[in-house]
A and B are shown apart, each in its own frame.
Chain A
Amino acid sequence: ETGVTQTPRHLVMGMTNKKSLKCEQHLGHNAMYWYKQSAKKPLELMFVYNFKEQTENNSVPSRFSPECPNSSHLFLHLHTLQPEDSALYLCASSQGTGADTQYFGPGTRLTVL
């Protein structure tokens, strides 16, 4: 589990707040991902970065803004969120994209009031 770390583990924010989620991988991987996990729904892929370049943005609202300064770090900046954005946000990394095994962090449990 220490291969991919996420902070904070829990976050409660109001709809007008700005906050950031942080992910760090210690596996030497080239690809990093953000997923949203809601109860009884499939994992929703939000963003993919490969070699620091964003390769996918799955029609995610602009209130979510990713940043990947290097291959080891990934951020998700949050701004003017809605209550329906409350979910578990998971970060993952893999050697390459496609079918390469993804290694997940423990997630950030986000609650938007």
Chain B
Amino acid sequence: QKEVEQDPGPLSVPEGAIVSLNCTYSNSAFQYFMWYRQYSRKGPELLMYTYSSGNKEDGRFTAQVDKSSKYISLFIRDSQPSDSATYLCAMSAPRNDMRFGAGTRLTVKP
């Protein structure tokens, strides 16, 4: 079983849709959870950072962590064409290196 599982997609939605991106993981020691966004021909950039379980909201983006299910989600409300990118989940245990998912490629069509 992979340590972090993420469906690579691709995922295509119309503008204005609510997007749900997900990752599952197997290591119960993970406590720090991140979402990175990677535009074409660019490096990943941090979008959301969450510690332990719960929700975090930032504008149109909401990150959720369910440690009991080993499941994390990123929701994008009112999606825009500028949200078209690859979204990577990442997580780490204390004092351990980060582990990344494969990334989900998202296209938001006008």
Contact = CB atoms under 8 A, between A and B. Distances in A.
> A and B: real partners?
yes
Nearest to A43: B100
Given A42-B100, A42-B102, A99 B92 contact: yes
B8 interface: yes
A101 B46 contact: yes
A92 B46 CA distance: 12
B99 A98 contact: no
Contact of A42 (B4, B32, B43, B92): B4
Interface residues of B, number: 28
Contacts of B43: 1, 4, 90, 92, 104-107
Interface of A is mostly: loop
Interface string A45-56: 100100000001
Interface string B37-52: 0000111111001000
A106 B88 CA distance: 15
A45 B42 CA distance: 18
Contacts of A56: 97
Interface in A40-68: 40-43, 45, 48, 56
Range of interface residues on chain A? Answer: 20 to 34
A7 interface: no
Query: Which has the most chain B C-beta neighbours within 10 Å: A1, A41, A90, A102?
Result: A102
Nearest to A55: B97
Contact of B92 (A43, A92, A98, A105): A98
B97 A1 contact: no
A84 to B, nearest CB: 17
Interface of A: 1, 4, 40-43, 45, 48, 56, 90, 92, 97-99, 101-107
